[in-house]
Amino acid sequence: MRPYVLLSLLAIPLAAACAVQSAPDLDVEPGATPSAEETFFNDNVKPVFEVNCAGCHANAADGYGAPDFLGASPDSFYGTLTARLDFVSCDVGNSMLLLKGADPGHSGVPLAPGDVPKVQQWLEMEANARFGGVCAGAPPAPDPTPDPEPDPESSSSSSSGGVEPEPQPQALNGLTAMESFGDCMTYTDWIDTGMYLVANQQAQYNNNNTECYNCHTNKNTGLNYMPDPDDTTRVMEAFQTMRYMYSSFNLLRWTVNDTDGSFKDLVRSYRWRDKGVEGGDHPPYTLAEEYTVAYENWFDLTYNRWKTAMESGTPCDPAAGDPP
């Protein structure tokens, strides 16, 4: 499994990663004393978002056209964020608020390491208040206290005659599901379905048609590495890059249950199809039918392998899918 770091915040490329669904309302009367969760947010989290995020995500005039998911002003931050299940749910590991800053394609600065536990603690407080507990797939809360010294007698008896308990399988969240899907991707499928050929798609650039691979020559181009299909070495490298965060958001996304925001499933993201028709600075194009079919066939093959692995409790071995 490939490691990744959870930091912070949402921006345009990942806006489609989770459906925007409503979190439950706690039915707070206007003018009532703020809840413990809101008080903690106002004291510890809102100042972090004001410094790091509001310049783009609470500002309709920002130069990036970033979504104003924080609301119009600091007074609206709490209500706006808690109304969305992709931000506040029973599963802290599904929250985009603990994800976006680690994305190298994000224009803003990541949260400082000392601020990450504050955001996570607040999200866990909300999970308990709104959903009666934190989902099984959420990461554990950070423990600020050092581990106690081990009991020599206890350690001795455990090593000599005790039986270590079997590790319990952890429920999936969006992050772990995306990574395990990447483990199940294979280079053979990538080639056999024609996924590497999508780089031949033409787009209109400066009144001329040009193949995608002329711009997407490395992983830094929109985290979408699509080299010349004739360059086998780079096709192999691109496959490995596209398997994991954040490049993999170009291929798939996760959905959440609309009751509590827990992980539901992985689905196609259709970014390669939609990018050419959504406007903006990207050259326009209409993805050819043959490439759409290649993508859908590839997803189905990989999804079925991933689903079987998850149901059997035997995750895919990423090395088995590596290029030769």
> Which neighbouring-strand residues pair with 203?
210
pLDDT at 234: 97
Average pLDDT, stretch 250-259?
A: 89
The answer, yes or no, to whether residue 295 has pLDDT greater than 90, is yes
- E strand or H helix that includes residue 120: helix 116-131
Whole-angstrom Cα distance, residue 97 to residue 119?
8
Check residue 261 and give its pLDDT. 84
Per-residue pLDDT of 62-102, as tens digits, reads 877 778 889 888 999 999 999 988 889 888 877 878 776 66
Place of tokens 């413990």: 36
CA pair distance 199, 169, nearest whole angstrom: 38
Predicted confidence band of residue 298 (pLDDT cuts 50, 70, 90): very high
Q: How far apart are CA 301 and CA 315, in angstroms?
A: 16
Residue 116 tokens, joined: 């990450």
- On the question of pLDDT at 136 being above 70, the answer is no
Mean pLDDT (the chain, rounded): 81
Higher local confidence (pLDDT), 157 or 227:
227
The pLDDT score that the predictor gives to residue 140 is 42
The more confidently predicted of residues 52 and 96 is 52
Identify which of 178, 39, 175, 48 has the alpha carbon closest to the alpha carbon of residue 117: 48
Is the separation of the CB atoms in 300 and 308 below 8 Å? Answer: no
